[in-house]
Structure formats: C-alpha cells, structure tokens
Structure 1
Amino acid sequence: MIKNFIKGLLFGSVLGGALGLLFAPRSGNDTRRKLSLSLEEATRTQEDLNRSLQRFTNSAKETQTLITKMIPELMTGLQKDIEAFQFQAEPRIKRIQKQAEVLNEHIAQLETAKKHE
C-alpha cells in the first residue's frame, strides 16, 4: 500500500513537472535542461524514499526480533516473581486461616455462653 502511494506520488510529480515544462514559454534547450533537472530530482527523491523505507523495514524487523527475545525473558521473570510471592505469602495465609479458625471458635463459645445465660 505504501509502495503504491510512493509510486503514485513519484509518477504524479514527474508527470506534473514534465507537463509544466512542456507548456512553459521557454526555449527547447531551457525546457530540456529543466526537464532533465526535474527527472534527476525525482530520481533522488525516489532513492531517498527507498532508503527510508528500507531503514523502516530494518527497524521493524529489529524491533520484532527484540520483542520475540524479550517476551520469554519477561515471562520467566514474572514466573519467578509469582513463585517468590507465593513462597512468602503461603505462611502468612496459613497464619490468617489459623487466626480465623480461632476467632470462629471464640464466636462459637460466646454464642454457647449466651444461650446458657
């Protein structure tokens, strides 16, 4: 899609420049010289665009390679963090569960005591 746009842009530039030169009130030598300069400029512009497109393509490939390499490393790091959190949280969770059991026992004892009053 980008290539078609660039081709259309270059074609339109060259055609517009050529028509402008052909219909301008100049001598044949001036018109040919101007047309030659316009074609050289269009060629340089196309070469610049091609280089820019190639640099963009290379950058996109490098970015894709970097992301492909980093995702497994990131996943490994996240997995290690999760495991470390679980290791640290597990004793805390057990203590909280134990405290909840003790509280439930106290509540049950209070309810039993209330019934006997």
Structure 2
Amino acid sequence: MVKNFLKGLAFGAVTGAAAGLLFAPRSGNETREKLIEELDEATELTNELNNSLNHFKQALSETKRTAETVIPTFQESIEKDIENFKFQAEPRVMQIQEQAEKLSSHFPESLTDVQ
C-alpha cells in the first residue's frame, strides 16, 4: 500500500512538473532542458525515497529479530523474579495474617471493656 502511494506520488510529481514546463512561456530548448532537469531531480528523489524505505525495512527486520531473542529471556527472568518474590512473600503474608487474627481475637475483648 505504501509502495503504491509512493509510486503515485512520484508519478504525480513528474506529471505535474512536465505539464508545468510544457505550458510555460519558454522556448522549446529551454523547456526541454528544464524538463530534463526536473525528471533528473524526480528520479533522484525517487531513488532516495526507495533507499530510505529499504533502510527502514532492514532496521525493522533487525528490530524484530532482536525483540524475538530478547523478549523470551526477559520474560523468563520476570517469571523467575515473580516466583522468588512469592517464595519470600508467602511466609511474611502468613505471619501478617496470624498477627491480624491475634489482634482481631483481642479486639472484641477491648470493645467490651470500653463499653
């Protein structure tokens, strides 16, 4: 889709330049020289655009390959960290729950004492 757009853009630029030159109030030789210059510039612009697009495609492919190698390693590391955190946190959570139960068992007694 982008390729078709770029082709259309280049074609439109060349056609517009050619039409402008053909209807310009210049002599035939001047018009032909100007047309040749414009076509050369349009060709150069198209080539630069194609080169940029190819570089972008290569960079995108390289980024994809890098992501395919880095993401699984990163994901494994995160999963290990989560397991380690769970292993360390579970005893602490149990201690907190035990303390909360002790406090709640003493709490109703303190309410009756206040009333």
Same fold (TM over 0.5): yes
CA deviations 1:33-52 (Å, max 9, x no partner) are 11111110010000011011
Residues 1-117 of structure 1: matches in 2 within 5 Å? 1-103=1-103, 110=109
Of the structure 1 ranges 59-68 and 29-38, higher mean CA displacement relative to structure 2 is found in: 59-68
Structure 1 residues 106 and 24, CA gap change in structure 2 (3 angstroms): closer
The structure with the larger Rg is 1
Q: For residues 75 and 7 of structure 1, what CA distance do their matches in structure 2 show?
A: 42
CA deviations 1:75-98 (Å, max 9, x no partner) are 111111111111211221232343
Structure 1 residues 10 and 94, CA gap change in structure 2 (3 angstroms): same
* Alignment RMSD: 2.1
Gaps of 5+ in 2: none
Structure 1 residues 21 and 101, CA gap change in structure 2 (3 angstroms): closer
What is the aligned residue count?
111
- Identity of matched residues, %: 52
Structure 2 length as normaliser, TM-score? 0.81
Residue 13 of structure 1 deviates from its aligned partner by 0.9
Q: For residues 20 and 97 of structure 1, what CA distance do their matches in structure 2 show?
A: 83
Structure 1 length as normaliser, TM-score? 0.80
Of the structure 1 ranges 94-103 and 14-23, higher mean CA displacement relative to structure 2 is found in: 94-103
Gaps of 5+ in 1: none
